[in-house]
Each structure stands twice: as structure tokens, then as C-alpha cells.
């Protein structure tokens, strides 16, 4: 089990771009589903899966030292919609990451995002390469963005605003992609305007001062909430409950904010389970807040009332 350590965030400030040797940060399961594509070279998708897996799992993304058991568990699943004759792949990408909760065998989901604007040009055996100051390919940019996003979320869960250096790299990747010579389909996920639920929108939220309190709550939720529940479930749940109003305030400030909706996508089942064991007053407050923050799932959240 990976234990929270004080040097974790300090070391992140010494971030290096992919280079050198050393322990990798990610243990990522990569899959490619091409069932929707008929008559194509299926071997190409196996090659794509292996290429992305090797890129993610053998690149040293930072200079932090990770033991094998400390690597961040995550998944990337590409769903291929179509492939054009010139090699433009239209796909969606589901990205998930999780981290262990201290003193338990439970792993909490940190990130659960479906990226529907994941188009990229690819030919079988194309090499993936990422240079921090230049755009090499949309596939490499997308995958690298999510690698740093995963590490940043993990760091934010262990220390206040600990993921900022990684999020700054995501911001740089998005900026490079916006000025690259790519197709309109490839550009869609990076556009500053036109969508509130793309890669640019998410990193813009995370780096926006208006979401500073949200990010601090993200840390409190995990370190001062979940991580102490094995010793004191009442206090841990109280910490989580007290901070939920931050989600409401963030959504009121930016009604279409991607960062709040992505938090709820990751945490809705966990919150339902947590508050099923809460006091009646905590349940009432929880339901009132969820009506504002995540109204489409209110039926699910109302299940907390069934537990006594």
C-alpha cells in the first residue's frame, strides 16, 4: 500500500520531462475496442494497444522515485468508431485512475472521464514520441496529457494543490495542440471555445483560481476524510460532509464546469455508500446539496434514506 509521504509533493516540483531511467509512476492497463469497425486491419488495433501501453508504462514522467507497489493504478480504454482511408481514427477514450485508502484494502476512484473528442492520425507501427516544447502527434499529445492529469490528481489527493506542476504541463500540452497543424476533428478536444467538456476546459478549470477551494477540498476529502475512516469513520465522514458545499459554490460560480461534473462521475457511488451510514441530519444535508450539484443522479442519492 502506498503511504502518503511529505516528500511526495516536494519532489513533484522537480518534474522532468520524459527522459532517463528509473521507476515509472503509472501502472496502466490499455485496451482498444474496435468492434464497431468492420473490415479493417484488426492487427493494427493490437499494435496500437501495445504501442500506447509501452509508451505509458515505460516512460518516466517525473523524477519522483516510486516503488513497484506505489505505482498509480489506472486504465485507458480506446473505443474506435471509424478509420478513414488516410488514417484518421475517430475514437473516444475512457480514462480512470484510483489510489488506495490508508488502512484499508479499498481503492478510491480519483478520475473517471470519457473523452469523446479523441481523433488522431495513425498508421500501424507509428512511433509515439513526446517533446515538451513541440507537438509531435495528436495521439501522443492526448495520451501524455492524461498521464500528467492522472499523476496530478493523485498528488492533489495527498497534499494541498500538490498536482499543480503536472497540471501546468497539461496546460502546456493543450496550448501546443491548439497551434498545431491538425484536422478539425483532432483539434476539437483542445478548443478553448465551443465545448465546456473537453480537455482544454478541464485543465482550464483546474488552473482557475475560482476552483482553488475545490482542489483543497479534493485533498481534504481524501487525506482528512477517507484516509482516517479506518480509525474514525464518524470524523472522516464529517470532514467530507462539511466540505460538500464547496462543490455547490464551484458549480454556481461556473455552472458548466467540467471539473465538478467529473468529480461526481468518479465519486457518485462512493458518496452514496458513505452517506448511507450517516446520521439523519447528514443525510438531509447531503441530499439538499446533491439536488444542486448533481440533480440527474438524485434518485440514486435518495437511496441513502433506505439505510438506518
In tens, the pLDDT along 224-272 reads 999 999 999 999 999 999 999 999 999 888 888 899 999 999 999 999 9
The SS3 of residue 90 is strand
At residue 9, the pLDDT reads 41
Q: Name every residue whose Cβ is closer than 8 Å to that of residue 299 and which is 6 or more positions away in sequence.
A: none
Q: What is the pTM of this model?
A: 0.91
DSSP alpha helix (H) spans, 59-137: none
DSSP alpha helix (H) spans, the chain: 7-12, 42-58, 138-158, 164-178, 184-187, 199-207, 212-219, 233-253, 258-276, 280-293, 298-301
At residue 258, the pLDDT reads 92
User: Confidence class of residue 20 from pLDDT cuts 50, 70 and 90?
Assistant: very low
Q: Residue 127 corresponds to which cell in the numbers above?
A: 512511433
CA distance 154 to 62: 13
Helix (H) or strand (E) holding 113: strand 107-115
Q: Residue 4 corresponds to which cell in the numbers above?
A: 502518503
Of 115, 117, 126, 36, which is closest to residue 83 (Cα–Cα)?
36
In tens, the pLDDT along 93-151 reads 999 999 999 999 999 999 999 999 999 999 988 999 877 678 899 999 999 999 999 99
Amino acid at each position: 500500500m502506498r503511504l502518503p509521504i511529505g516528500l511526495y509533493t516536494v519532489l513533484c516540483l522537480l518534474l522532468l520531462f520524459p527522459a532517463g531511467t528509473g521507476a515509472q509512476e503509472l501502472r496502466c492497463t490499455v485496451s482498444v475496442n474496435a468492434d464497431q469497425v468492420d473490415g479493417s486491419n484488426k492487427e493494427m488495433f493490437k499494435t496500437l494497444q501495445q504501442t500506447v501501453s509501452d509508451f505509458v508504462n515505460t516512460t518516466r514522467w517525473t523524477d519522483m522515485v516510486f516503488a513497484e507497489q506505489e505505482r498509480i493504478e489506472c486504465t485507458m480504454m480506446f473505443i474506435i468508431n471509424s478509420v478513414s482511408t488516410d488514417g484518421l481514427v475517430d475514437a473516444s477514450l475512457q480514462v480512470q485512475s484510483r489510489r488506495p485508502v490508508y488502512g484499508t484494502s479499498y481503492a478510491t476512484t480519483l478520475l473517471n472521464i470519457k473523452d469523446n473528442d479523441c481523433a488522431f492520425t495513425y498508421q500501424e507501427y507509428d512511433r509515439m514520441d513526446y517533446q515538451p516544447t513541440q507537438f509531435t502527434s495528436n495521439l501522443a499529445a492526448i495520451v501524455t496529457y492524461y498521464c500528467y492529469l492522472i499523476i496530478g490528481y493523485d498528488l492533489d489527493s495527498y497534499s494541498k494543490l500538490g498536482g499543480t506542476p503536472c497540471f501546468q504541463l497539461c496546460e502546456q500540452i493543450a496550448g501546443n495542440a491548439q497551434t498545431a497543424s491538425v484536422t478539425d476533428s483532432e483539434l476539437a478536444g483542445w478548443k478553448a471555445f465551443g465545448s465546456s467538456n473537453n480537455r482544454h476546459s478541464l485543465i482550464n478549470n483546474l488552473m482557475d483560481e475560482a476552483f482553488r477551494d475545490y482542489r483543497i477540498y479534493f485533498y481534504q476529502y481524501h487525506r482528512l476524510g477517507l484516509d482516517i475512516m479506518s480509525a474514525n469513520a464518524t470524523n472522516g465522514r464529517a470532514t467530507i460532509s462539511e466540505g460538500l458545499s464547496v462543490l455547490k459554490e464551484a458549480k454556481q460560480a461556473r455552472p458548466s464546469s467540467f471539473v465538478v461534473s467529473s468529480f461526481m462521475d468518479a465519486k457518485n457511488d462512493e458518496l452514496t455508500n458513505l452517506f448511507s451510514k450517516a446520521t439523519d441530519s447528514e443525510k438531509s444535508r447531503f441530499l439538499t446539496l446533491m439536488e444542486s450539484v448533481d440533480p440527474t443522479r438524485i434518485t440514486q442519492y435518495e437511496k441513502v434514506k433506505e439505510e438506518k
